[in-house]
Amino acid sequence: MHTMNFSRKFNRRTEQKIKTKKMEQKIKTKKMEQKTETFERIDFLTCKNYLNELGISDEEINKALDNLNITKRDLCDEKAFERPSNTNYIKIKEFVRVGIGYFKKYKGEYVKEYTANADIFLIQAQYQGLKHGKIIYQILLNRYKWMCSFIKDKSYKETIVDKYFDSIGRLDVDNLPKDLKSKTIEELLKIKNENNLVTLKESAWSLYEMHSINYEIYLHTEFGSLYVPIKAILENDFSIINKRMKSYAISYYDPKDLSGYALNHRNRTMEQYKIDTEKDYENMIKPLKSKEAKKLEKLLKK
């Protein structure tokens, strides 16, 4: 009887050990899979899914990235996770190497800084959104060649000595060319303060970070910025732009709803406030009457 009980206990322990080993192996395998999983460059682009929802294919996105020479590394940051690392909460990540990480522990007002063994992963870059505008503009340009026909003048002051002065006005004497080295500081400053305006041509479009499919870009016009939802271009529908401009203007200056009178009348009568509100509303939608808006409307009808 004693022998049988011992045998049962032994078998249970053996079974438990086997189960534990299997579980450990599963965890180890899962961790290895996490570390060895690789992603394509496009997967690290944070606005990829929004672009796909708008009908822009992966091929178009990749073409734009190629045009701009944007690599996977350009879209990523390296992040260290203290070992044993838990990265399950990060969907897009790629194991790079084992190394040393720099970490902080917070306890009340105190901060402890330390180094430790770490798994280093590639993750989506924190400030990647700064590249979205260029990428999306290139995608649109590849589809619609007319995008580049909207240009504006950009003027700035430039003199032959500007590049030898730093941001706080210090002069880089060592790199001055021979013809300038013979001049006094007063003479160089006089040249620097000359009003030599240089005018360049640049795109009239402004594009920023993409946070949703309700994305819009901005067209510089003779009467200010025209708000252009990207859907208006993709769907060839200028009425979307018209609706956007008017709804935005009316949210500030509604000629019918004068509820803001009490706070904003500035000693004006209700009648005068209504007249001024109507003028402000018309000024906000004035870009719709610009030559650039009329040109865009024709292009979207083609």
Higher-pLDDT residue of 63 and 272 is: 63
Give the pLDDT score at 29.
Answer: 47
Full-model pTM: 0.74
Q: Which residues of 161-171 are buried (b: 16+ CB within 10 A; e: fewer)?
A: beebeeeeeeb
3-state SS of the chain is CHHHHHHHHHHHHHHHHHHHHHHHHHHHHHHHHHHHCCCCHHHHCCCHHHHHHCCCCHHHHHHHHHHCCCCCHHHEEEEEEECCCCCCCCCCEEEEEEEEEEEEEEECCEEEEEEEEEEEEEEECCCCHHHHHHHHHHHHHHHCHHHHHCEEEEEEECCCCHHHECCCCCECHHHCCHHHHCCCHHHHHHHHCCCCEEEEEEECEECCCCCCCCCEEEEEECCEEEEEEHHHHHCCCHHHHHHHHHHHHHHHCCCCCCCCHHHHCCCCCHHHHHHHHHHHHHHHCHHHHCHHHHHHHHHHHC
For the cut 60, the answer to whether the pLDDT of residue 25 exceeds it is: no
The string of pLDDT tens digits covering residues 170-192 is 888 888 888 888 888 888 888 77
Mean pLDDT of the chain: 86
Give the pLDDT score at 129.
Answer: 96
Strands 205-206 and 224-229 come out as: unpaired
In angstroms, what CA-CA distances link 101 with 72, 80, 81, 97, 111?
22, 5, 7, 11, 16
How do the domains of the chain map onto residue ranges?
A: 33-129, 144-150+205-302
Give the pLDDT score at 240.
Answer: 98
For the cut 80, the answer to whether the pLDDT of residue 108 exceeds it is: yes
Give the pLDDT score at 244.
Answer: 97
Give the pLDDT score at 3.
Answer: 54
The string of pLDDT tens digits covering residues 41-97 is 999 999 999 999 999 999 999 999 999 999 999 999 999 999 987 888 888 999 999
- Asked which of 51-65, 126-140, 147-161 is least confident by mean pLDDT, the reply is 147-161
152 forms beta bridges with: 202
Higher-pLDDT residue of 94 and 200 is: 94
For the cut 50, the answer to whether the pLDDT of residue 27 exceeds it is: no
For the cut 90, the answer to whether the pLDDT of residue 196 exceeds it is: no
The string of pLDDT tens digits covering residues 288-297 is 999 999 999 9
The string of pLDDT tens digits covering residues 215-261 is 999 999 999 999 999 999 999 999 999 999 999 999 888 777 776 66
Quick one: tokens of 116?
């430790």
For the cut 70, the answer to whether the pLDDT of residue 264 exceeds it is: no
The string of pLDDT tens digits covering residues 274-289 is 888 889 899 999 999 9
Higher-pLDDT residue of 217 and 105 is: 217
For the cut 60, the answer to whether the pLDDT of residue 30 exceeds it is: no
Average pLDDT of the residues in 22-43: 64
CA distance 197 to 153: 12
Give the pLDDT score at 87.
Answer: 82
For the cut 70, the answer to whether the pLDDT of residue 35 exceeds it is: no
98 forms beta bridges with: 119
Give the pLDDT score at 104.
Answer: 92
